[in-house]
Chains A and B, each alone.
Chain A
Amino acid sequence: MPTTDAAATRDPTVAEQFADADQQWRADLLGMWVFLLTEIMMFGGMFMAFAIYRVEYAEVFAEGARHLKLHLGVINTVLLLTSGLTMSFADPAVQAGRRRTVLLLLGLTAALAIAFLGLKGYEYFLEYEENLVPVGDLPFDMAPFSSDRVKVFFSFYYVMTGLHALHMAIGVGLIAAAVWLVARWRDASRVSRQVQIISIYWAFVDVVWLLLFPALYLLRPALGG
């Protein structure tokens, strides 16, 4: 019977709803890009709202940016770019069957991401100590700017960087899942697809930060001025 023949010759690593491994790979990538499209629209809306307030309250927003820790932002950007590089090497290493290299690269990526999150947390703590957290009854003071407009800047700052940090934390979870898959190494093609998809997600997290960093940290009065 034809169906029995087809079942007998079928690649056992391909899920039953797909004709072949190539179609499964294409579907996986498409799924990730559809998801990223929704992410683009979510972050896009936030950037648009930020842009309008940045124009409307230009002086206050520039002053708010001056109160952010630029050096910590730069270090975090370097950490994130480096993690993007290590993650981009993971998929080729999977395809070359170098399991230990993949584990090392994924471990490095996760470590850099955790360092980023740790530094971000430290930055939040410093801002808390400087009374720059506009939440509830917490004291808020950015002399000589005491208006509520400063709170708008810091609200954008915490929501945008917080949402980005949440995406990073999810990314670290995905990388941990990839480490587990690579450690088992039962199905090389599946491992390759998963690592590639996580790489794309991770690069997207990079992209969001590369746009957040100048918008929040760099649109400030001249350094040393």
Chain B
Amino acid sequence: MRETLSRILSYLVLLALLGASVYAAQWPLGLARIALHLGLGGAMALIVVAVFMQLRRTPALARLFAYAGVLWLAILFGLMSLDYVYR
């Protein structure tokens, strides 16, 4: 019952975040708005990973691969950004 409630609440939060993100689209496009849209999208993605992918109930070894994905993404984005900025 608690898990069911948690999923429904997460779904409602996701809809609210989607609404907030679309609402923000009427503001002038600048760095702050870009950060807001990407931040809200990232937050929604994290909620889906935590609740719908049940990351906390995933065995440790499988979870390690999930974290490894984040690490490799960070390496990819970090090195590519450095190359782009300093080239």
Contacts and interface: CB of A to CB of B under 8 A. Distances in A.
Contacts of A222: 25-29
Contacts of B59: 26, 29-30
B49 A207 contact: yes
Chain A interface SS verdict (over half): helix
Interface string B19-49: 0011011111100001001101110110011
A64 interface: no
A36 B69 contact: yes
A70 B22 contact: yes
B37 A214 contact: yes
A176 interface: no
Given A48-B76, A89-B7, A206-B48, A30 B34 contact: no
B72 A40 contact: yes
A207 B66 CA distance: 13
Interface in A126-156: none
A52 B41 contact: no
B61 interface: yes
Chain B interface SS verdict (over half): helix
B38 to A, nearest CB: 6
Contacts of B27: 222
Interface in A77-119: 77-78, 81-82, 84-85, 87-89, 92
Contacts of B53: 199-200, 203-204, 207
B84 interface: yes
Contacts of A210: 41, 44-45, 48
Interface of B: 3-4, 7-8, 11, 14-15, 18, 21-22, 24-29, 34, 37-38, 40-42, 44-45, 48-49, 51-54, 58-59, 61-63, 65-66, 68-69, 72-73, 76-77, 80, 84
